Structure 1
């Protein structure tokens, strides 16, 4: 092969993004002050924020499609795409207006490109690139789950690498070790529905939306609220899934099947009409939530013990970050807190508005990368969206091969009067 052919082949691969080289990154100083604009459209929320290197949110805006999809019985991708297209310019302009900065002061545009709904991701990615071309700015492609994992570092400056991460949302459930800004070790992931998705599906099946007090709530909010009213959360028996599996993977399918069987039996016994709600719906929500929490805590605990045994988490730096939309559930958070207390971990959960999808987390991930001079692209036309994208290096099989046996943390503190979930006392014995 002659030199000209070699050069043409190299150029073609480079333009396709198949050759990663420092030539495709701008050389920025990590010492100077930086301002990043972040755009998020991975699912059904159109978000934008402008954040600086000190973690100050200069401007932010969010358009939620929640009620529209709630009335449609779930997220419909073409509708989500149309709503992103209708709202993205207004959302970006609002965040920009709040910030009081000029586009010449913004150093880069960070945009979620993976993972997520392709039709939604396309809108944010195209608009982010449009802004880059219009204002001659570099483009920063962002991994949605990495952004969730690192947002806590904006909220709590004391968090240092490495730390444990539990991400629970409508589309994802995973436990990992965050070793650095762009280096993760994936210990476990969902093999079917994520917790938020399971909550939404079960809330629809229980017809909670037909009750006025829950009519505008997400499935997770409705189930959590109903569970608080339970007078007998042990009235429905659930089996915690995957107890004999030695990995850290998560599964909601078996829990959903148990809910479905209880519902069918209750509807038949109580002659519930098509749009009716079973009399013991509060108790069923409480039992369901308890089973989900116990399952999450078991898989998390094994991940923690594995990470410590392998030396991935030093004893002096034991921190767990919990984020994602389902992390807003206070019952789940309290159960996870108990695991952290027993194993000696610091528990960190960002404020609710930073747990759910938002532009701030994307802008902050851009800041983290800006400081390290990672993933800042001047030539960005080859960068495409990705529907699926694993988080970091996969160690799931290695976790199973370790064959760890765990002495499960008892979640008995939920019995105590000071617990925010005192109505569920007696519900959690192990």
Structure 2
């Protein structure tokens, strides 16, 4: 079974073809980072318009690379939510139009389910069940994953997501957009003893997170700096602040993951979402895994951010369990807000 996946939830346009027998056949991705960098964040209207421009050329490239025609596709999976409403509408309308034109069934996929299952695309995939840390610009959640559609929420952020805290703190330091990679790179040159920033909810005895206070702590450090103006903070001091921030957020994420594994008795941890590419987080989790005797799995770096491959794969997994999940009903709606616990295998 060959599934076409279409991802357009935010600022990446992704197309991919997944074959349940041969694996990932091809994928193509366009990132809008350069376009949004000028504005310091994603502009929804611009994102939607760019998806319109990019989707069909990416589709043609994906088909050509795989040597597959639309007639050979068995189903079309698309991101139905959550995400930006306008951006979701682009991918949904294209998927349903293609389905109508070819007579192929279509399937709306939950964006976060795509991220949760993306490590299964790796050469060494985890087996069910496992604990998943879903950590991105919009979400920070700890889930127990017992199978496709079998997700139990253990904890989540009460305010800013981890990726959001990265971007906001980077902006306070005068770094560019997206801020996460920039502040992470800068932190490599920082002194870990220069700034001891708070670890919010580190000892809360639950699996929830809170990162707005950490962001505020960075703001306080910047405001209290003797030069008062971000532009005048020396590069070394910026690196020290970045290191203090990154160490704090990594410590919290690592501790919560260890607690969730201990609570459930599971020995497999999956990291999904854009922050899963963070080098400091990976190093911390790998060190903890060696000490605590559990295994940690990551998506391939190219699949940490939003992409069509994870949507094609998630759609294929659902159709293998329930072939009737895809419909030839080409009316569509999108769900900008869609709790993951509302989906199931049926």
Pairwise TM-score range, normalised by the shorter structure? over 0.9
Q: Deviations over 1:171-221 (max 9, x none)?
A: 111111111111111101121111111111111121123xxxxxxx63111
8 Å Cα contact 2:96-2:332 kept in structure 1:
no
Aligned equivalents of 2:286 and 2:209: distance in 1?
19
The offset of 1:289, in angstroms, is 0.1
TM-score (norm 1): 0.76
CA–CA distance in structure 2, aligned partners of residues 374 and 320 of structure 1 = 29
Task: Specify the structure having the higher radius of gyration (Cα).
Answer: 1
2:204 maps to 1:248: no
Does the aligned pair in 2 maintain the 1:112–1:143 contact within 8 Å?
Answer: yes
2:65 corresponding residue in structure 1:
98
Offset at 1:91? 1.5
Question: In the alignment, which of 149, 152, 170 is matched to residue 116 of structure 2?
Answer: 149
Runs in 1 of length 4+ with deviation above 3 angstroms? 275-279, 379-383
Cα separation, partners in 2 of 1:393 and 1:319, compared to 1, 3 Å? farther
Q: Structure 1 pair 276/73, CA: closer, same or farther in 2 (3 Å)? A: farther
161, 169, 180: which one pairs with 1:220?
180
Helix, strand or coil for the counterpart of 2:152?
A: strand
Q: Deviations over 1:336-389 (max 9, x none)?
A: 223333332211112110111111111111221122125632243454211122
3-state SS in 2 of match to 1:202: helix
Whole-Å separation in 2 of the counterparts to 1:208 and 1:49: 33
Q: Does the C-alpha gap of structure 1 residues 94 and 276 become closer, same or farther in structure 2, counting only changes over 3 Å?
A: farther
Partner of residue 400, structure 1? none
* Equivalent of 1:44 in 11, 14, 18: 11
C-alpha displacement at 1:56, in angstroms?
3.0
In the alignment, the residues of structure 1 paired with residue 340 and residue 209 of structure 2 have an alpha-carbon distance, to the nearest angstrom, of 15
1:88 paired to 2:55: yes
Does residue 328 in structure 1 map to residue 277 in structure 2?
A: yes
User: Where does residue 301 of structure 1 map in the other structure?
Assistant: 258
CA distance in 2, matches of 1:92, 1:195: 32
| Counterpart-to-counterpart distance in 1, 2:135 and 2:125 | 23
2:309 paired with 1:360: yes
**Which deviates the most, 289-298 or 337-346?**
337-346
Does the C-alpha gap of structure 1 residues 375 and 84 become closer, same or farther in structure 2, counting only changes over 3 Å?
A: farther
* Superposition map of 1:93-242 within 5 A: 93-156=60-123, 158-209=125-176, 218-230=178-190, 232-242=191-201
Gaps in structure 1 of 5+ consecutive residues: 1-33, 210-216, 395-430
Q: Pick closer, same or farther for the CA change 1:119–1:60 going to 2, 3 Å.
A: same
- Pair 374,292 (structure 1): closer, same or farther in 2 beyond 3 Å: farther
- Secondary structure at 1:151 match in 2: helix
Secondary structure (helix, strand or coil) at the match of 1:110 reads strand
Shift of 1:244: 3.8
SS of equivalent to 2:325: coil
1:257 corresponding residue in structure 2: 216
State yes or no: 1:342 paired with 2:291. Answer: yes
Helix, strand or coil for the counterpart of 1:93? helix
Distance 1:282 1:374, change over 3 A: farther
Q: State how far apart, in whole Å, the 2-side matches of 1:158 and 1:62 are.
A: 22
1:55 and 1:139 mapped to 2: Cα distance?
A: 21
Name the structure 2 match of 1:292: 249
The CA deviation at 1:103 is 1.4
Cα distance in 2 for partners of 1:96, 1:298 equals 43
Residue 39 and residue 277 in structure 1: after superposition, are their counterparts in 2 closer, same or farther (change >3 A)?
farther
Structure 1 CA distance for aligned equivalents of residues 125 and 46 of structure 2:
41
Residue 384 of structure 1 corresponds to 333
Deviation, 1:78, is 1.1
Asked whether the 8 Å contact 2:106–2:327 carries over to 1, the reply is yes
